[in-house]
Amino acid sequence: MKQFIQTALIVVTCASVSQGHADAGAAAGAVVPLRSATRQSEAILRGRTIRYTVTAQESPISITPGTSRPDATMFSVSYLRQSANPAARPVMFVFNGGPGSSASGLHDAFAPKKVVSRNPDMAVRSVGTYVDNNGSPLDATDLVFIDPPGTGYGREFTAGAVRHFSSVRDDARVMADFMARWLEQHGRRGSPKLIAAESYGGVRLGLVAAELGRRTRPILFDGYLLISPSTLAVEDDEKARGFIANAVGALPSLAAAAAYYHKGAYSTLPADELQRKAIAFAQGRYRAALERKERLSPVDRARVADDVSAFTGVPSAQISRSSLVVPIDAFVKLLLAERAERIGLGDSRAHALLALTRKAPPPYDDPSTSRWTMNFSWDDAIDGYFRNAVGYPVTSTYVRYSGAVYDTWRWDALPAEQHIAPILMAQINRDRSSALLALGYYDLIIPYGLPLHDYRAAAGQSQRLTVRLFAAGHAVFNDATAQRAAGEALRNLIGQSIANHNARSAARRGL
């Protein structure tokens, strides 16, 4: 699973790998001022000119709470719409996953500006430029993007400080502290509040919500956006789930990929019909067959192999030899073997010649990463944006992914904290909040069947969870084909969150 998670961080970027920014002067004991910049700007969103204030800043974090000198900083950027009533206006906190990923992927999806190539010809090396992002929800909610310690423009003043925060529990605590502090500093504790997270961010989101909900002055969220989320706070979730659950959860995504390339027996079915058929088979006959795999007769074994082949396009004989399971790492190379191509993990619709992908080191051998999908440096584009459009004092390259954070991550979640879906759904039902689970058919990093199963099981009969599947890969809201429909689903969530907030406020007043 390690490579899958690393690939998730770079589905839309060619991620710079760093250990974070060390500040030599601060390490020697010098007082280093925190960096910040604020600008007024505007963007045309959904046909309307939206004026906003953008603030990029460092926030201090300390290993020992209450100490005056920070050990490190976290970087964040907020977009607040002007001429709006802050008390009534929602605010959405946004972060990605990893562990070790900055918020840059979702910043490109939700911020009022996004990066595009000046030359769309992939055969020509170009540069990135920022343009108005019509997919931004800034007209409906304020936005705060948070980079965890060791990423973005965050700095380390005390040697080893970032490593201290690089664990399931400490990461959740420091992220919760940031949100609580931001709300206090901006007078927004009374505003409708949402959290949006992707991939491992789904784990972080659940733990942050639980942490803030049990504090002396609890902070309750009105809405949650879960994008292709991880649901287990463990290092090896494949082992934790088990062989059968992984195979069952992956099959619908394998079927979607096969159908996209006109493979298998069901490639002519509409996507939603194929999804229902694949899930019914996976959760029914397929699961039952795997549970009694060693006791299947040769005839029954052949029948199951034929069924799996019909969905995945992989030959029955090969499926039978591999214990009736099609491993994802083999599937990406098998599906287009006759074309000598492999498909992507982050988006199975991406493909490239296998001989070429083998020349790239993992995870850049995945044709859905930016080495194959971008013709410009996003590092240069990000640094240029913050330097020129925001006025931030950029002195080093923005860290979009920290390999050091990932490699030293401590999976220290308590047993009761490891299964995120039931934890979060219990909080949602208790607080009368709402959640949107946004999944991509073509995601092979976290096949949509896994979080779909976990959240449906945890939700039970609750009406507070909305599930939407889109023609997208792992990064649902970055997908041009899905962005409009996904954006409307998000706006519905924002509306529900405002209603939840108002209902809770009225109940407190005894109305």
CA distance to 35, 292, 380, 461, 493, per residue, from 394 (Å) = 9, 59, 11, 50, 35
Query: DSSP letters along 372-428, please?
Result: HH-SS-HHHHHHHIIIIII-----S--BSB-HHHHHT-B----GGGSBHHHHHHHHH
Position 123 scores a pLDDT of 65
Say if CB 346 and CB 8 are below 8 A apart.
yes
The string of pLDDT tens digits covering residues 203-214 is 999 999 999 999
Position 69 scores a pLDDT of 83
Distance CA 284, CA 463 (A): 25
Distance of CA 421 to the CA centre of its chain: 15
Distance CA 121, CA 168 (A): 42
The string of pLDDT tens digits covering residues 80-120 is 999 778 888 999 999 999 899 999 999 999 999 998 877 77
Query: DSSP letters along 34-90, please?
Result: PPEEEEEEEEEETTEEEEEEEEEEEEEE-SSTT-SS-SEEEEEEEEEESSS-TTTS-
Average pLDDT over residues 340-366: 92
CA distance to 34, 109, 250, 393, per residue, from 37 (Å) = 10, 22, 45, 8
Say if CB 414 and CB 233 are below 8 A apart.
no
Distance CA 231, CA 456 (A): 12
The string of pLDDT tens digits covering residues 380-398 is 889 999 999 999 999 999 9
* Higher pLDDT pick, 122 / 346: 346
Distance CA 29, CA 50 (A): 44
Say if CB 126 and CB 119 are below 8 A apart.
yes
What is the CATH number assigned to the segment(s) 2-236+377-508? 3.40.50.1820
Say if CB 198 and CB 106 are below 8 A apart.
yes
Distance CA 225, CA 447 (A): 18
Distance CA 300, CA 102 (A): 48
pLDDT at 239 over 90: no
Number of Cα atoms under 13 Å in the Cβ half of residue 421:
20
Structure token digits, residue 68: 């005056």
Kind plus residue range of the DSSP H or E element containing 168: helix 168-185
The string of pLDDT tens digits covering residues 356-374 is 999 988 878 999 987 778 7
Position 378 scores a pLDDT of 83
Residues of the chain with CATH 3.40.50.1820: 2-236+377-508
pLDDT at 19 over 60: no
Say if CB 220 and CB 508 are below 8 A apart.
no
The string of pLDDT tens digits covering residues 419-478 is 999 999 999 999 999 999 999 999 999 999 999 999 999 999 999 999 999 999 999 999
**Least confident residue range of 10-19, 65-74, 98-107, 347-356:** 10-19
Read off the pLDDT band of 23 (50, 70, 90): low
Structure token digits, residue 194: 């949402």
Count Cβ atoms below 10 Å from residue 306 Cβ, excluding itself: 13
Give me the numbers of helices (H) and strands (E) for the chain, helices first please: 20, 15
Q: What is the mean pLDDT of the chain?
A: 90
Say if CB 379 and CB 397 are below 8 A apart.
yes
Q: Which pTM does this prediction carry?
A: 0.93
Position 20 scores a pLDDT of 54
pLDDT at 415 over 70: yes
The string of pLDDT tens digits covering residues 43-58 is 999 999 999 999 999 9
pLDDT at 24 over 60: no
Say if CB 503 and CB 497 are below 8 A apart.
no
Position 21 scores a pLDDT of 64
Closest to 348 measured CA to CA, from 236, 471, 451, 248: 471
Give me the sign of the Cα torsion angle 495, 422, 100, 198. negative
Tell me, letter by letter, the H, E, C secondary structure of 329-384: HHHHHHCCHHHCEEECCCCCCCEEEHHHHCCCCCCCCCCCCHHHHCCCCHHHHHHH
The pairing of beta strand 351-353 with beta strand 223-227: unpaired
Average pLDDT over residues 141-145: 98
Average pLDDT over residues 60-67: 84
CA distance to 12, 60, 330, per residue, from 125 (Å) = 17, 39, 32
Read off the pLDDT band of 1 (50, 70, 90): very low
Distance CA 335, CA 435 (A): 35
pLDDT at 12 over 50: no
Distance CA 99, CA 470 (A): 25
Cβ neighbours for 283, distance < 8 A, ≥ 6 positions apart: 248, 453
Position 416 scores a pLDDT of 86
Say if CB 101 and CB 200 are below 8 A apart.
yes
